[in-house]
């Protein structure tokens, strides 16, 4: 009996133990087989972590390697209020001087509901190190890149800026986005019990790659000279807006491009959209008398006129197609050369009539009007050059004096460059090269000729005539530059408001130096100067002279003796 | 007889061989552990250097921006004015421009080296008549 009971008990215990082990085994199978994927993932989540790293955005440099835009690593200071709430006041008192925030605001943030609150963005590395040294539990320092522009507003319209996602939205930042943008990378790491990375177990899947550097043709010193002089002109003549472009005629390189009003690149949102517009490429206006260079060079190129040919300027009143065309000063008989340097509207109109509309239109197109220049900046407009079919009877007298046509300042200076450069029309160049993060040149942008509107001989004849513009006989003696031979043209165009010409003017001057072998061309244009003076030669001429003098001095252009007309004609 | 054979089989040679095998295994094991430890330690060092490199890279970018700011023409001009250094671009009146001698100049003026410099005659002594 006792044996039987013992055996029964043993059987029960055995069954119990068997059941227990069976249960364990089943649980094991459940954990290891059925829920393997899920639990393995949970374990991996505890141990592993994927870190995304953003590549640094490339730099923008000027022609001499000076930094114009750079990306800096800063920190976002954030907190987990569930950990900081208990000691919010003391923590706030520690952090307030470092973050430049007041204690009540910080206390409120540190004790707010939720598990994540941003305390401050764009905290520099030095401050971040000080915060880290405080060893406050619940504080998080996150990485962030910010774009910085060391020169503030200098060349702001050319450089452009980025949005919060570090994507270029204007200027070179937008135009060269594909090169500048860094490539993001990520790595999977394993952490130990304390949450520290076990370096040997790192599985780096994709390394981040920094963006390429973009080198511009712009020179920061020339840009500074242009901007300082433009600011002076803005203060003196109080125009609505103003632009200065400095370029190199032989290559089409843009050395400076200044526009007013302007904005600070480090805080573009503080300025109105109007101030952020690059007027050099996005604003069109009737060029006025500066456009006479097109009609005269076309007529000279086709042999329709010679510089010494004389035309009747009708004493300042010329009736054509039922409308009277006026000159600022009445002139009688003037040679072509004088039509240019005295800027006779009637003279230009008479030459235009002699050329005929189709020829004039051909030259307008050949000089690049009515189409984009192709500069590597976003927002460029084509200007307005009506097709021949839309010309009225008056057009042939109005277009030669720069009316009924609209051009951007960039188009005007590129047309002038063609005259300065032996008739070769160049594509404007603003990006010199793209360099890899390792410093290897990836792309070189070479000067490119896009047309030949006139011959070198016609170009030399035009230079001979334009040199006289800055003499006492011409319209811009104030644009002369001591020790340098300057060729240029003034422009004073009436503005149109609500379809009517009003007593507001665009005052401009375009010119190049040295006239015989141009190294520089400069455009100055002021939109509606107030205070009496509005002629291009009086308002923009002196600005041109000052910019040209300083830039020539900076570039070390050798001073020269004025050359005679016969010497220039030989060229 | 059998006992003797057994004693012979436990001789030094086989014991040594066994110990050698065990020793090799132990050394291999210890080496493995040591190397694992080294890998971990070096990994930690790499991590530390990576962090330093990253910090230096960040600092470099910050300093490059600062340097660019200090080198900017506007900043330099402002500092010159602030410290009354009197530095300014020379005015035109302060610059003397010398024309480079060209071919015409060469023809008119013989080269300096070819021109003999006349020897200076000693100035005649003034004779003061004594009265």
Residues 6 or more apart whose CB falls under 8 angstroms from that of A262 comprise: A153, A156, A157, A227, A275
- Say whether pLDDT at A547 is over 90: yes
- Asked whether the predicted pLDDT for residue A530 surpasses 50, the reply is yes
What span, in angstroms and rounded, lies between the C-alpha atoms of A34 and A23? 15
Model pLDDT for residues A222-275, shown as the tens digit of each residue: 999 999 999 999 999 999 999 999 999 999 999 999 999 999 999 998 999 999
- Cα–Cα distances in angstroms (integers) from residue A505 to residues A151, A207, A259, B63, in the given order: 32, 57, 17, 46
Give Cβ neighbours of residue A206 (< 8 Å, ≥ 6 apart): A185, A186, A187
Interface touch B65/A558, C-beta < 8 Å: no
Residues of B in contact with A553 (CB under 8 A): 89
- Residues of chain A with Cβ-Cβ distance to B100 below 8 Å are 558
> Which has the closest alpha carbon to A106: A84, A136, A134?
A84
User: For residue range A403-420, what is the model confidence (pLDDT) as tens digits?
Assistant: 999 999 999 999 999 999
**A476 pLDDT tier (thresholds 50, 70, 90):** very high
Q: 3-class SS at B41?
A: helix
**Cβ pair B39:A221 closer than 8 A:** no
- For A222, the 3-state DSSP assignment is helix
CB contact under 8 A, B40 and A198: yes
> From CA A60, how far away is CA A71, in angstroms rounded?
10
Q: Which of A446-450, B20-24, B112-116 has the lowest mean pLDDT?
A: B112-116
Output the pLDDT for position A532. Answer: 79
The pLDDT-based confidence of A483 (bands split at 50, 70, 90) is: confident
Q: What does the alpha-carbon distance between residue A445 and residue A547 come to, in Å, rounded to a whole number? A: 27
Distance between CA atoms of residues A490 and A269, nearest Å: 36
Cβ–Cβ below 8 Å for B97 and A559: yes
Which residue from A minimizes the CA distance to B61?
Answer: A72
A204-226 burial, b at 16+ Cβ within 10 Å, e below that, comes to eeeeeebbbbbbbbbbbbbbbbb
Please report the pLDDT score of residue A566 as a whole number.
Answer: 52
- Average pLDDT of chain B? 75
Tokens of A92: 């706030």
Kindly indicate the confidence band of residue A512, based on its pLDDT and cuts at 50, 70 and 90. Answer: very high
Residue A222 in tokens: 């020339």
E strand residue ranges, A344-430: 384-385, 405-406, 425-426
* Interface test with chain B among A62, A150, A223, A555, by most B beta carbons within 10 Å: A150
Inform me whether the C-beta atom of residue B71 falls under 8 Å from chain A C-beta atoms: yes
A488 within 8 A of A510, measured Cβ to Cβ: yes
Residues 6+ apart with CB under 8 A from A361: A387, A388, A391
Q: Please state the length of chain B.
A: 131
- The pLDDT value recorded for residue B87 is 78
Q: Element (H or E) spanning A204, and its range?
A: strand A203-206
Check residue A542 and give its pLDDT: 94
The whole-number pLDDT of residue A158 equals 96
A498 touches B: beta carbon within 8 Å: no
Q: Which carries the bigger pLDDT value, residue A447 or residue A564?
A: A447
Q: Do A72 and B62 touch (CB under 8 A)?
A: yes
**Whether the complex's predicted ipTM surpasses the cut of 0.95:** no
Look at residue A132 in the predicted model and tell me its pLDDT: 87
Burial class (CB in 10 A: 0-12, 13-18, 19+), A265: buried
Contact residues, chain B, for A200 at CB < 8 Å = 39-40, 42-43
Cβ neighbours of A483 in B, within 8 Å: 92, 97
Model pLDDT, residue A495: 84
Task: Provide the 8-state DSSP code for A254.
Answer: E
pLDDT confidence tier of residue B7, bands split at 50, 70 and 90: low
Higher pLDDT, A45 or A271: A271
Q: At what angle do helices A292-301 and A409-420 cross, to 10 degrees?
A: 30
Structure letter (DSSP) for residue A54: P
Query: Cβ distance A294 to A367 under 8 Å?
Result: yes
Give bridge partners of residue A333 from the DSSP assignment. A312
Q: Which two tokens stand for residue A164?
A: 């919060």
Q: What's the pLDDT tens digit per position in B89-105?
A: 776 667 776 766 665 55
* Nearest chain A Cα distance for residue B34, angstroms: 15
Q: Which of A422, A406, A404, A426 is nearest to A414 (CA)?
A: A426
Distance from CA of B50 to the nearest CA of A (A): 10
Does residue A50 register a pLDDT over 90?
no
Predicted local distance difference test score (pLDDT) of residue B86: 78
Please say if the pLDDT value at position A500 is more than 90. no
> For the residues A344-358, what does the mean pLDDT come to?
93
Mean pLDDT of chain A: 90
User: Is the pLDDT reported for residue A564 higher than 60?
Assistant: no
In this prediction, residue B119 carries a pLDDT of: 47
Is A489's pLDDT higher than 70?
yes
Q: Which has more confidence, A543 or B129?
A: A543
Statement: residue A78 has pLDDT above 50? yes
- pLDDT at residue A355, rounded to an integer: 92
Quick check: B120 pLDDT over 70? no
d(CA A145, CA A159): 18
Of all residues in chain A, the percent with pLDDT exceeding 70 is 98
Among A1-10, A77-86, A516-525, A555-564, top mean pLDDT goes to A516-525
Q: Round to whole Å and give the CA distance between A165 and A162.
A: 8
Please check whether residue A51 touches B, CB under 8 A: no
A67 contacts A61 by C-beta, under 8 angstroms: yes
Look at residues A521, A517, A311, A326 and name the one whose alpha carbon lies nearest to residue A409.
Answer: A521
For residue A70, the chain B residues in CB contact (below 8 A) are: 61, 64-65, 68
| pLDDT computed for residue A115 by the predictor | 85
Q: In the prediction, which pLDDT does B112 show? A: 42
What CA–CA distance (Å, rounded) separates A396 from A357?
A: 6
B59 vs B34 pLDDT, higher one? B34
Contacts of A509 (CB under 8 A, 6+ apart): A290, A476, A479, A488, A489, A490, A491, A523, A524, A525, A536, A537, A540, A541, A543, A544
Nearest CA in chain A to B49: A199
B43 at A interface, C-beta within 8 A: yes
Q: In 3D, which of A209, A175, A235, A236 has the Cα closest to residue A55? A: A209
pLDDT band (50, 70, 90) for residue A52: confident
First-last CA distance in chain A: 137
Q: Residue B65 above 50 pLDDT?
A: yes
Q: Please give the Cα distance from A228 to A256 (Å, whole number).
A: 12
pLDDT, position B3 = 53
Q: pLDDT tens digits, residue range A56-65?
A: 899 999 999 9
A 405-444 near B (Cβ less than 8 A): none
- Give the distance between the most distant pair of CA atoms in chain A: 150
**In which region does residue A315 sit, left (phi positive, over 0), alpha (psi from -120 to 50) or beta (all else)?**
left
Largest CA distance in chain B: 157
Using the beta-carbon criterion (under 8 Å), do A558 and B100 form an inter-chain contact?
yes
- pTM of the complete model: 0.81
Model confidence at B114: pLDDT above 50: no
**Are residues A488 and A509 in contact, defined by beta-carbon separation less than 8 angstroms?**
yes
- CA dist A230 and A279 (Å) reads 13
Residue A520: per-residue pLDDT: 94
Band (pLDDT 50/70/90 cuts) for residue A565 is low
pLDDT of A3 > 90? The answer is no
Taking the CA of residue A445 and the nearest CA in chain B, the distance in Å comes to 25
Least confident of A121-135, A153-167, A429-443, A551-565: A551-565
Whether B65 and A148 lie within 8 Å, measured CB to CB: yes
Q: Does A198 touch chain B (CB under 8 A)?
A: yes
In DSSP notation, A61-74 reads E-TTS-EEEEEEEE
Question: What's the pLDDT score for residue B4?
Answer: 54
How confident is residue A5, by pLDDT bands cut at 50, 70 and 90? Answer: confident
**CA gap A209, B58 in Å, rounded:** 15
Q: What DSSP character marks residue A30? A: I
pLDDT band at B118 (very low <50, low <70, confident <90, very high): very low
Q: Which residues on B lie below 8 Å from A73 (Cβ)?
A: 57-58, 61
Contact A397, A320 (CB under 8 A): yes
Which pLDDT score, from 0 to 100, does residue A571 have? 46
Predicted confidence band of residue A503 (pLDDT cuts 50, 70, 90): confident
pLDDT at A208 > cutoff 50: yes
CA-nearest residue to B57 within chain A is: A73
Q: Which residues of B touch A154 (CB under 8 A)?
A: 72, 74
List the single best residue of A61, A68, A129, A148 to mutate versus B (max B Cβ within 10 A): A148
Residue A51 pLDDT? 82
Please answer yes or no on whether B92 and A483 come within 8 Å at the CB atom.
Answer: yes
Query: Distance (Å, rounded) from C-alpha A85 to C-alpha A109?
Result: 9
Asked if residue B111 has pLDDT above 80, the reply is no
């Amino acid at each position: 009996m006792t044996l039987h009971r013992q055996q029964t008990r043993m059987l029960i215990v055995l069954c119990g133990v068997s059941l227990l082990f069976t249960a364990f085994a089943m649980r094991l199978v459940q954990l290891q087989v059925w829920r393997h994927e899920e639990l393995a993932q949970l374990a991996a989540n505890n141990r592993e972590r994927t870190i995304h790293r953003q590549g640094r955005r490339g730099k923008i440099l000027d022609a001499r390697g000076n930094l114009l835009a750079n990306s800096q690593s800063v920190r976002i200071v954030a907190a987990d209020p569930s950990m900081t709430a208990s000691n919010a006041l003391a923590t706030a008192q520690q952090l307030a001087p470092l973050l430049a925030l007041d204690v009540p605001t910080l206390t409120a943030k540190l004790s707010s509901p939720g598990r994540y609150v941003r305390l401050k963005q764009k905290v520099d590395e030095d401050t971040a190190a000080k915060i880290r040294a405080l060893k406050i539990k619940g504080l998080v320092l996150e990485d962030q890149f910010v774009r910085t522009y060391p020169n503030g507003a200098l060349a702001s319209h050319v450089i452009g800026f980025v949005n919060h996602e570090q994507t270029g939205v204007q200027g070179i930042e937008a135009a060269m986005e594909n090169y500048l943008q860094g490539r993001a990378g990520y790595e999977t790491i394993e952490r130990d019990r304390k949450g520290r990375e076990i370096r040997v177990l790192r599985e780096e899947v994709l390394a981040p790659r920094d963006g390429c550097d973009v080198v511009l043709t712009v020179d920061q010193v020339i840009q500074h000279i242009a901007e300082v002089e433009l600011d002076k002109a803005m203060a003196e003549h109080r125009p609505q807006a103003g632009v200065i472009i400095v370029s190199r005629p032989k290559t089409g390189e843009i050395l400076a491009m200044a526009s007013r009003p302007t904005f600070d690149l480090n805080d573009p949102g503080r300025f109105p959209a109007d101030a952020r517009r690059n007027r050099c490429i996005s604003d069109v206006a009737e060029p006025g008398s500066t456009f006479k260079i097109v009609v005269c060079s076309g007529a000279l190129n086709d042999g329709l006129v010679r510089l010494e040919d004389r035309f009747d300027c009708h004493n300042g009143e010329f009736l054509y197609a039922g409308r009277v065309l006026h000159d600022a000063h009445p002139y009688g008989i003037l040679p072509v050369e004088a039509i240019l340097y005295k800027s006779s509207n009637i003279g230009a109109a008479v030459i235009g009539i002699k050329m005929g509309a189709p020829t004039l239109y051909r030259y307008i197109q050949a000089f690049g009007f009515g189409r984009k220049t192709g500069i590597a900046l976003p927002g460029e407009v084509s200007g307005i050059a009506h097709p021949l079919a839309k010309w009225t009877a008056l057009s042939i007298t109005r277009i030669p004096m720069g009316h009924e046509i609209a051009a951007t300042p960039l188009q005007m200076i590129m047309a002038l460059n063609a005259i300065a450069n032996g008739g070769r029309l160049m594509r404007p160049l603003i990006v010199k090269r793209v360099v890899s993060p390792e410093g290897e040149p990836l792309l070189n942008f070479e000067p490119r000729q896009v047309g030949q509107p006139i011959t070198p001989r016609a170009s030399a004849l035009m230079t001979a005539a334009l040199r006289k513009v800055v003499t006492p006989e011409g319209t811009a003696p104030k644009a002369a530059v001591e020790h340098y031979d300057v060729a240029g043209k003034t422009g004073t165009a009436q503005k149109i408001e609500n379809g009517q010409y009003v007593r507001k003017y665009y005052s401009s001057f375009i010119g190049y130096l040295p006239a015989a072998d141009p190294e520089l061309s400069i455009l100055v244009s002021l939109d509606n100067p107030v205070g009496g003076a509005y002629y291009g030669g009086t308002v923009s001429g002196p600005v041109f002279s000052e910019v040209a003098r300083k830039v020539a001095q900076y570039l070390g252009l050798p001073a020269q003796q004025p050359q005679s007309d016969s010497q220039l004609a030989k060229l | 007889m059998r006992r003797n054979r057994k004693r012979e089989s436990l001789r030094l040679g086989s014991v040594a061989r066994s110990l050698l095998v065990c020793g090799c295994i132990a050394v291999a094991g210890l080496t493995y552990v040591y190397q694992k430890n080294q890998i971990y330690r070096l990994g930690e060092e790499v991590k530390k250097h990576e962090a330093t490199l990253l910090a230096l890279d960040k600092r470099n970018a910050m300093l490059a921006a600062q340097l660019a700011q200090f080198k900017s023409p506007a900043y330099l001009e402002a500092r010159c004015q602030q410290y009354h250094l009197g530095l300014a671009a020379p005015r035109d009146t302060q610059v003397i421009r010398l024309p480079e001698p060209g071919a015409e100049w060469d023809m008119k003026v013989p080269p300096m080296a070819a021109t003999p410099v006349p020897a200076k005659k000693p100035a005649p002594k003034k004779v003061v008549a004594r009265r």
